[in-house]
Structure 1
Amino acid sequence: MNIRPLEKRDLPHIYRQKNSRSVMALWFEEPYNSFDELTLLYDRHVLDQTERRFVIEKDGEFAGVVELMEINTIHRHAEIQIIIDSKFQGHGLAQAGMRAGIEYGFNVLNLHKIYLYVDVDNAAAVHIYKKIGFEEEGCLKHHFFAEGKYHDSYMMGLFADDFRQPTSTEPKVD
Protein backbone atom coordinates (compact mmCIF):
# COMPACT_ATOMS: atom_id res chain seq x y z
CA MET A 1 0.00 0.00 0.00
CA ASN A 2 1.15 3.52 -0.81
CA ILE A 3 -0.37 6.96 -0.34
CA ARG A 4 0.29 9.99 -2.49
CA PRO A 5 -1.30 13.43 -2.91
CA LEU A 6 -4.62 13.55 -4.75
CA GLU A 7 -4.15 14.82 -8.29
CA LYS A 8 -6.53 15.99 -11.00
CA ARG A 9 -6.07 12.68 -12.84
CA ASP A 10 -7.74 10.96 -9.86
CA LEU A 11 -11.03 12.84 -10.29
CA PRO A 12 -12.77 10.06 -12.29
CA HIS A 13 -12.29 7.75 -9.28
CA ILE A 14 -13.52 10.42 -6.88
CA TYR A 15 -16.49 11.07 -9.17
CA ARG A 16 -17.47 7.39 -8.94
CA GLN A 17 -17.25 7.48 -5.13
CA LYS A 18 -19.08 10.81 -4.82
CA ASN A 19 -21.97 9.45 -6.88
CA SER A 20 -22.52 6.42 -4.70
CA ARG A 21 -25.31 7.00 -2.18
CA SER A 22 -24.07 4.24 0.10
CA VAL A 23 -20.48 5.56 0.12
CA MET A 24 -21.50 9.17 0.73
CA ALA A 25 -23.90 8.10 3.49
CA LEU A 26 -20.85 6.86 5.42
CA TRP A 27 -19.39 10.37 5.15
CA PHE A 28 -22.79 11.96 5.92
CA GLU A 29 -22.57 13.85 2.64
CA GLU A 30 -24.96 14.40 -0.22
CA PRO A 31 -24.24 12.18 -3.24
CA TYR A 32 -24.45 13.05 -6.91
CA ASN A 33 -21.96 15.69 -7.97
CA SER A 34 -21.41 16.50 -11.61
CA PHE A 35 -17.90 15.99 -12.95
CA ASP A 36 -17.74 19.72 -13.74
CA GLU A 37 -18.63 20.57 -10.12
CA LEU A 38 -16.01 18.13 -8.85
CA THR A 39 -13.38 19.69 -11.12
CA LEU A 40 -14.27 23.19 -9.88
CA LEU A 41 -14.06 22.00 -6.26
CA TYR A 42 -10.66 20.47 -6.93
CA ASP A 43 -9.38 23.66 -8.55
CA ARG A 44 -10.71 25.77 -5.67
CA HIS A 45 -9.32 23.53 -2.91
CA VAL A 46 -6.00 22.37 -4.37
CA LEU A 47 -4.12 25.18 -2.59
CA ASP A 48 -6.26 25.20 0.57
CA GLN A 49 -3.91 24.79 3.52
CA THR A 50 -6.70 23.52 5.79
CA GLU A 51 -6.98 20.26 3.80
CA ARG A 52 -4.73 17.41 2.69
CA ARG A 53 -6.10 14.69 0.44
CA PHE A 54 -4.23 11.49 -0.34
CA VAL A 55 -4.91 8.63 -2.72
CA ILE A 56 -4.46 5.13 -1.34
CA GLU A 57 -2.93 2.84 -3.94
CA LYS A 58 -2.60 -0.91 -3.96
CA ASP A 59 -0.21 -2.28 -6.58
CA GLY A 60 -0.38 1.04 -8.44
CA GLU A 61 -4.20 0.99 -8.58
CA PHE A 62 -6.54 3.58 -7.00
CA ALA A 63 -7.94 1.94 -3.86
CA GLY A 64 -9.34 4.85 -1.85
CA VAL A 65 -8.82 8.24 -0.29
CA VAL A 66 -7.72 9.46 3.14
CA GLU A 67 -8.25 13.13 3.96
CA LEU A 68 -7.22 15.50 6.72
CA MET A 69 -9.83 18.26 6.86
CA GLU A 70 -10.40 21.39 8.92
CA ILE A 71 -6.68 21.54 9.74
CA ASN A 72 -6.33 24.13 12.49
CA THR A 73 -2.75 25.31 12.98
CA ILE A 74 -3.52 27.31 16.12
CA HIS A 75 -5.18 24.51 18.07
CA ARG A 76 -3.21 21.85 16.15
CA HIS A 77 -6.07 19.52 15.34
CA ALA A 78 -7.80 18.15 12.24
CA GLU A 79 -10.57 15.80 11.19
CA ILE A 80 -9.69 12.63 9.29
CA GLN A 81 -11.87 10.77 6.78
CA ILE A 82 -11.31 7.66 4.70
CA ILE A 83 -13.05 5.81 1.89
CA ILE A 84 -11.84 2.47 0.55
CA ASP A 85 -13.16 1.37 -2.84
CA SER A 86 -15.44 -1.67 -2.44
CA LYS A 87 -13.07 -3.75 -4.60
CA PHE A 88 -10.34 -3.31 -1.96
CA GLN A 89 -12.37 -3.63 1.23
CA GLY A 90 -11.41 -6.41 3.61
CA HIS A 91 -7.70 -6.25 2.75
CA GLY A 92 -6.54 -4.10 5.68
CA LEU A 93 -6.27 -0.93 3.60
CA ALA A 94 -8.58 1.11 5.83
CA GLN A 95 -6.36 0.59 8.85
CA ALA A 96 -3.12 1.07 6.88
CA GLY A 97 -4.50 4.16 5.11
CA MET A 98 -5.67 5.68 8.38
CA ARG A 99 -2.31 5.03 10.00
CA ALA A 100 -0.50 6.69 7.08
CA GLY A 101 -2.81 9.73 7.22
CA ILE A 102 -2.41 9.98 10.99
CA GLU A 103 1.36 9.65 10.76
CA TYR A 104 1.40 12.51 8.24
CA GLY A 105 -0.80 14.65 10.50
CA PHE A 106 1.32 14.11 13.59
CA ASN A 107 4.82 13.88 12.09
CA VAL A 108 4.59 16.36 9.20
CA LEU A 109 1.85 18.82 10.19
CA ASN A 110 2.76 18.67 13.90
CA LEU A 111 -0.86 18.16 14.94
CA HIS A 112 -1.69 17.48 18.58
CA LYS A 113 -5.04 15.75 17.96
CA ILE A 114 -6.83 14.07 15.09
CA TYR A 115 -10.56 13.41 15.36
CA LEU A 116 -13.32 11.82 13.32
CA TYR A 117 -17.04 11.28 13.20
CA VAL A 118 -18.48 7.81 12.67
CA ASP A 119 -22.02 6.46 12.59
CA VAL A 120 -22.70 4.58 15.83
CA ASP A 121 -24.10 1.72 13.73
CA ASN A 122 -20.89 1.35 11.68
CA ALA A 123 -19.38 -1.30 13.96
CA ALA A 124 -16.62 -2.29 11.51
CA ALA A 125 -15.30 1.26 11.28
CA VAL A 126 -15.57 1.84 15.04
CA HIS A 127 -13.57 -1.37 15.58
CA ILE A 128 -10.81 -0.23 13.19
CA TYR A 129 -10.62 3.23 14.75
CA LYS A 130 -10.38 1.82 18.29
CA LYS A 131 -7.70 -0.63 17.16
CA ILE A 132 -5.64 2.33 15.89
CA GLY A 133 -6.08 4.09 19.24
CA PHE A 134 -9.04 6.45 18.77
CA GLU A 135 -11.26 6.87 21.82
CA GLU A 136 -14.92 7.82 21.92
CA GLU A 137 -15.24 11.36 23.20
CA GLY A 138 -18.99 11.63 22.92
CA CYS A 139 -22.11 10.75 21.01
CA LEU A 140 -23.84 13.37 18.91
CA LYS A 141 -27.56 12.57 18.77
CA HIS A 142 -29.30 12.94 15.39
CA HIS A 143 -26.30 14.92 14.19
CA PHE A 144 -26.14 13.83 10.54
CA PHE A 145 -28.87 13.29 7.96
CA ALA A 146 -28.20 10.56 5.38
CA GLU A 147 -30.24 7.99 3.50
CA GLY A 148 -33.50 9.65 4.57
CA LYS A 149 -32.96 9.63 8.33
CA TYR A 150 -30.95 11.21 11.11
CA HIS A 151 -27.98 9.31 12.49
CA ASP A 152 -26.22 9.37 15.83
CA SER A 153 -22.48 9.79 15.51
CA TYR A 154 -19.54 9.12 17.75
CA MET A 155 -16.87 11.77 17.87
CA MET A 156 -13.59 9.95 18.37
CA GLY A 157 -10.19 11.46 19.02
CA LEU A 158 -6.54 10.46 19.03
CA PHE A 159 -3.69 12.45 20.56
CA ALA A 160 -0.17 12.45 19.12
CA ASP A 161 1.28 11.17 22.42
CA ASP A 162 -1.09 8.18 22.34
CA PHE A 163 -0.52 7.18 18.73
CA ARG A 164 1.37 3.94 18.44
CA GLN A 165 4.13 4.65 15.93
CA PRO A 166 4.09 2.30 12.94
CA THR A 167 6.57 -0.53 12.73
CA SER A 168 9.06 -0.74 9.89
CA THR A 169 6.71 -3.11 8.00
CA GLU A 170 3.90 -0.57 7.82
CA PRO A 171 3.59 1.87 4.91
CA LYS A 172 5.22 5.25 4.94
CA VAL A 173 3.89 8.44 3.36
CA ASP A 174 5.77 9.35 0.19
Structure 2
Amino acid sequence: MFVFKEFQLDEMTIKLLLPETSQARDLYRVVKEDRDTLKLWMPWANETHSQRSEAEFLKYIQGRMVDDKVFMLTIAVNDVAVGMVDLHNIDRANRHAEVGYWLSSQVQGHGIMTESLKRLIEYAFHEMGLHKILIQVDTENDPSNAIPKRLGFKLEATFQDQIYFHGQYRDFFEYGLINPE
Protein backbone atom coordinates (compact mmCIF):
# COMPACT_ATOMS: atom_id res chain seq x y z
CA MET A 1 0.00 0.00 0.00
CA PHE A 2 1.41 3.36 -1.07
CA VAL A 3 0.43 6.22 1.25
CA PHE A 4 0.31 9.46 -0.73
CA LYS A 5 -0.59 11.68 2.25
CA GLU A 6 -1.55 11.05 5.87
CA PHE A 7 -3.16 13.38 8.40
CA GLN A 8 -5.17 13.40 11.62
CA LEU A 9 -8.69 14.72 12.14
CA ASP A 10 -10.20 14.42 15.59
CA GLU A 11 -9.46 10.81 16.62
CA MET A 12 -9.17 9.60 13.01
CA THR A 13 -6.11 8.81 10.92
CA ILE A 14 -6.82 9.71 7.30
CA LYS A 15 -4.69 8.22 4.55
CA LEU A 16 -4.82 9.11 0.88
CA LEU A 17 -3.73 5.97 -0.94
CA LEU A 18 -2.96 5.06 -4.50
CA PRO A 19 -5.78 2.78 -5.68
CA GLU A 20 -5.22 -0.96 -5.35
CA THR A 21 -7.53 -3.89 -5.97
CA SER A 22 -7.16 -4.84 -2.29
CA GLN A 23 -9.39 -1.81 -1.52
CA ALA A 24 -12.29 -3.20 -3.58
CA ARG A 25 -13.97 -4.99 -0.67
CA ASP A 26 -14.21 -1.88 1.52
CA LEU A 27 -15.17 0.42 -1.35
CA TYR A 28 -17.87 -1.93 -2.61
CA ARG A 29 -19.29 -2.20 0.92
CA VAL A 30 -19.59 1.60 1.07
CA VAL A 31 -21.24 1.77 -2.35
CA LYS A 32 -23.67 -0.97 -1.37
CA GLU A 33 -24.54 0.73 1.95
CA ASP A 34 -24.85 4.23 0.44
CA ARG A 35 -26.20 3.27 -3.00
CA ASP A 36 -29.52 5.09 -2.53
CA THR A 37 -27.74 8.37 -1.76
CA LEU A 38 -24.83 7.94 -4.18
CA LYS A 39 -27.08 7.14 -7.12
CA LEU A 40 -28.75 10.54 -6.73
CA TRP A 41 -25.52 12.22 -7.87
CA MET A 42 -23.18 9.56 -9.29
CA PRO A 43 -24.19 7.68 -12.45
CA TRP A 44 -21.69 4.89 -11.70
CA ALA A 45 -23.36 3.93 -8.39
CA ASN A 46 -25.93 1.70 -10.09
CA GLU A 47 -23.22 0.06 -12.21
CA THR A 48 -21.15 -1.16 -9.26
CA HIS A 49 -22.75 -4.53 -8.54
CA SER A 50 -20.00 -6.50 -6.85
CA GLN A 51 -16.61 -6.44 -5.24
CA ARG A 52 -15.29 -7.81 -8.51
CA SER A 53 -16.70 -4.89 -10.53
CA GLU A 54 -15.07 -2.50 -8.06
CA ALA A 55 -11.74 -4.34 -8.43
CA GLU A 56 -12.04 -4.11 -12.23
CA PHE A 57 -12.66 -0.37 -11.92
CA LEU A 58 -9.57 0.01 -9.73
CA LYS A 59 -7.46 -1.86 -12.33
CA TYR A 60 -8.87 0.39 -15.05
CA ILE A 61 -7.98 3.48 -13.01
CA GLN A 62 -4.43 2.23 -12.50
CA GLY A 63 -4.02 2.10 -16.28
CA ARG A 64 -5.50 5.58 -16.71
CA MET A 65 -3.07 6.87 -14.11
CA VAL A 66 -0.11 5.38 -15.96
CA ASP A 67 -1.36 7.19 -19.08
CA ASP A 68 -1.59 10.48 -17.10
CA LYS A 69 -5.33 10.78 -17.82
CA VAL A 70 -6.44 10.72 -14.20
CA PHE A 71 -4.91 10.90 -10.74
CA MET A 72 -7.10 9.11 -8.23
CA LEU A 73 -6.67 8.47 -4.53
CA THR A 74 -8.57 6.22 -2.15
CA ILE A 75 -9.52 7.82 1.15
CA ALA A 76 -9.02 5.53 4.13
CA VAL A 77 -10.13 6.31 7.68
CA ASN A 78 -8.33 4.23 10.30
CA ASP A 79 -7.17 1.92 7.49
CA VAL A 80 -10.65 1.31 6.03
CA ALA A 81 -11.31 2.59 2.49
CA VAL A 82 -14.31 4.94 2.62
CA GLY A 83 -14.23 7.03 -0.57
CA MET A 84 -12.21 8.48 -3.40
CA VAL A 85 -10.97 11.79 -4.72
CA ASP A 86 -9.46 12.43 -8.14
CA LEU A 87 -8.15 14.75 -10.77
CA HIS A 88 -9.60 13.93 -14.19
CA ASN A 89 -9.69 15.55 -17.62
CA ILE A 90 -6.09 16.51 -16.96
CA ASP A 91 -5.05 19.00 -19.63
CA ARG A 92 -1.28 19.44 -19.46
CA ALA A 93 -1.18 21.88 -22.39
CA ASN A 94 -3.57 24.32 -20.71
CA ARG A 95 -2.50 23.29 -17.19
CA HIS A 96 -5.88 22.51 -15.68
CA ALA A 97 -7.90 19.54 -14.43
CA GLU A 98 -11.26 18.73 -12.89
CA VAL A 99 -11.86 17.25 -9.46
CA GLY A 100 -14.29 14.52 -8.47
CA TYR A 101 -15.06 13.07 -5.04
CA TRP A 102 -17.32 10.86 -2.96
CA LEU A 103 -17.28 9.69 0.65
CA SER A 104 -19.14 7.22 2.86
CA SER A 105 -22.07 8.74 4.73
CA GLN A 106 -20.66 7.12 7.89
CA VAL A 107 -17.73 9.55 7.98
CA GLN A 108 -19.18 12.69 6.42
CA GLY A 109 -19.35 15.89 8.42
CA HIS A 110 -15.84 15.69 9.90
CA GLY A 111 -13.96 17.69 7.24
CA ILE A 112 -12.38 14.57 5.70
CA MET A 113 -13.26 15.48 2.13
CA THR A 114 -12.33 19.13 2.51
CA GLU A 115 -8.92 18.21 3.95
CA SER A 116 -8.37 15.47 1.35
CA LEU A 117 -9.16 17.84 -1.50
CA LYS A 118 -6.90 20.50 0.02
CA ARG A 119 -3.97 18.08 -0.14
CA LEU A 120 -4.82 16.93 -3.66
CA ILE A 121 -5.06 20.53 -4.87
CA GLU A 122 -1.69 21.41 -3.27
CA TYR A 123 -0.17 18.47 -5.16
CA ALA A 124 -1.85 19.52 -8.42
CA PHE A 125 -0.55 23.07 -8.15
CA HIS A 126 2.93 22.47 -6.71
CA GLU A 127 3.96 19.07 -8.08
CA MET A 128 1.97 18.77 -11.30
CA GLY A 129 2.35 22.44 -12.20
CA LEU A 130 -1.35 22.97 -12.87
CA HIS A 131 -2.69 26.50 -13.01
CA LYS A 132 -6.40 25.87 -12.45
CA ILE A 133 -8.67 23.29 -10.85
CA LEU A 134 -12.35 22.98 -11.78
CA ILE A 135 -15.20 21.30 -9.93
CA GLN A 136 -18.62 20.62 -11.45
CA VAL A 137 -21.42 19.92 -8.97
CA ASP A 138 -25.14 19.30 -9.41
CA THR A 139 -26.89 22.50 -8.34
CA GLU A 140 -29.09 20.55 -5.93
CA ASN A 141 -26.26 18.70 -4.14
CA ASP A 142 -25.86 21.12 -1.22
CA PRO A 143 -23.23 19.14 0.76
CA SER A 144 -21.04 18.76 -2.32
CA ASN A 145 -21.45 22.44 -3.23
CA ALA A 146 -20.24 23.47 0.23
CA ILE A 147 -16.80 21.90 -0.28
CA PRO A 148 -15.47 24.13 -3.10
CA LYS A 149 -16.82 27.17 -1.26
CA ARG A 150 -14.86 26.19 1.89
CA LEU A 151 -11.72 25.78 -0.22
CA GLY A 152 -11.94 29.22 -1.80
CA PHE A 153 -13.20 28.19 -5.24
CA LYS A 154 -15.17 30.82 -7.16
CA LEU A 155 -18.48 30.05 -8.84
CA GLU A 156 -17.69 30.60 -12.53
CA ALA A 157 -20.72 29.26 -14.37
CA THR A 158 -24.07 27.56 -14.20
CA PHE A 159 -24.61 25.00 -16.94
CA GLN A 160 -28.26 24.41 -17.62
CA ASP A 161 -29.31 20.93 -18.70
CA GLN A 162 -25.69 19.79 -18.41
CA ILE A 163 -26.42 16.06 -18.18
CA TYR A 164 -29.39 13.79 -18.70
CA PHE A 165 -29.72 11.71 -15.56
CA HIS A 166 -32.62 9.84 -13.97
CA GLY A 167 -34.90 10.78 -16.86
CA GLN A 168 -34.32 14.50 -16.57
CA TYR A 169 -31.79 17.16 -17.45
CA ARG A 170 -29.68 18.36 -14.52
CA ASP A 171 -28.06 21.76 -13.99
CA PHE A 172 -24.48 22.02 -12.76
CA PHE A 173 -22.41 24.72 -11.10
CA GLU A 174 -18.78 25.00 -12.15
CA TYR A 175 -16.29 26.30 -9.60
CA GLY A 176 -12.72 27.28 -10.37
CA LEU A 177 -9.59 27.81 -8.31
CA ILE A 178 -6.48 29.41 -9.78
CA ASN A 179 -3.04 28.65 -8.40
CA PRO A 180 -2.14 31.74 -6.35
CA GLU A 181 1.59 31.39 -7.06
Question: 1:46 aligns to what?
Answer: 62
TM-score calculated relative to the size of structure 1: 0.81
State the number of aligned residues. 162
The equivalent residue for 1:78 is 97
- Whether 2:164 is the aligned partner of 1:149: answer no
Choose between structure 1 and 2 for higher RCO, CA contacts under 8 A separated by at least 6 residues: 1
CA distance in 2, matches of 1:30, 1:64: 12
Normalising by structure 2, report the TM-score. Answer: 0.78
* Structure 1 equivalent of residue 3 of structure 2: none
Q: Structure 1 residues 128 and 34, CA, compared in 2 at 3 Å: closer, same or farther?
A: closer
2 CA distance for matches of 1:110 and 1:8? 29
**Equivalent-residue separation in structure 1 for 2:29 and 2:23 (angstroms):** 10
1:69 CA drift (Å): 0.8
SS at match of 1:142: strand
Is 1:13 the counterpart of 2:26? The answer is yes
- The answer to whether 1:27 aligns with 2:37 is no
Name the Cα RMSD after superposition.
2.1
User: What SS does the corresponding residue of 2:47 show, helix, strand or coil?
Assistant: coil
**Structure 2: how far apart are the matches of 1:119 and 1:79?**
14
Letter in 2 for 1:27: M
Alpha-carbon separation, structure 1, partners of 2:43 and 2:173: 13
Equivalent residues in 2 for 1:110-125, closer than 5 Å: 110-125=129-144
Once residues 122 and 38 of structure 1 are traced to their aligned partners in structure 2, the CA distance between those partners, rounded to angstroms, is 24
Gap regions ≥5 residues in structure 2: 1-13
SS of the aligned residue for 2:106 comes to helix
Letter in 2 for 1:69: H
Give, as a single letter, the amino acid of the residue that structure 2 aligns with 1:137: E
Between Structure 1 and Structure 2, the one with more helix by share is 2
Residue 108 of structure 1 aligns with an amino acid whose one-letter code is E
